[in-house]
Amino acid sequence: MIAWINFIILALATIGTAVFYIKSVGPAALAEKIGPDAYPKCARYRLIAAILMTVTLVNYVIYLFYPLPLGLPLQFGWGWPLSIAMGLIIGLPATYIFFRGMKDAGEETMQPKQEHTLYGGIYQKIRHPQAVGESPLWLVFALLLNSPFLAIFSLVWFPIYYWFCLAEEKDLVLRYGQSYRNYQQQTGFLFPHVRSTEDQGGRA
């Protein structure tokens, strides 16, 4: 019973995270309807999404002790040390990209502000470093917990984060206009643009 309750909460918290985060990245569109109150309202949506995301992480840990009776192996066949090593190989660079994105976004990571300008730093290389860094961390958590089921479940986060990015881009175009369209052309979506020698001024 505990296993199913935990899974239901996990599923609902995952869905809730997606819904509230999507709502949080639309301040410009919402401002057209309710005015400047849209930005603090979206900050509240983002806080709710962060809380629900924390709940899902707790559900991951609980699953280790109360797995679903699905017939799947409870642990990977190669043993916990290799799972931890794989988790670190994926997790260390992902964590760096995620926190670098948070640092360069500043307070807008949690609190969208109407007066905020476009970001610098790592955002000059890719437009969504936080999504690039954070999305694989769910798979890392599953590996550290050595759970095949959680590893499979973690795959759902990749399309969710992609959805986040698309929704955010739509609002950023509305918010910044042509400046953001120019930024889209100059900067990679999830990966840096590969520039030819001609793009770099013809240098060898």
The CATH number for 45's domain is 1.20.120
d(CA 123, CA 91): 20
Residue 200: inside a domain = no
Establish if 133 belongs to a structural domain.
Answer: yes
Task: Note the pTM of the prediction, 2 decimals.
Answer: 0.89
Domain count, the chain: 1
Phi, psi of 114 (to 5 degrees): -60, -35
CA distance 150 to 138: 9
Distance CA 61, CA 42 (A): 29
Contact (Cβ atoms closer than 8 angstroms) between residue 93 and residue 174: no
Which residues form the domain of 9? Answer: 2-186
In a domain, 196, yes or no: no
**Least confident residue range of 21-35, 64-78, 111-125:** 111-125
Asked if residue 195 belongs to a domain, the reply is no
Flag whether 130 is in a domain: yes
Asked if residue 100 belongs to a domain, the reply is yes
φ/ψ of 125, rounded to 5, equals -100, -45
d(CA 69, CA 186): 49
Residues 3-57 have pLDDT tens digits of: 999 999 999 999 999 999 999 999 999 999 999 899 999 999 999 999 999 999 9
- Residue 198 within any structural domain of the chain: no
> Does residue 201 lie in a domain region?
no
Question: Whole-angstrom Cα distance, residue 35 to residue 37?
Answer: 6
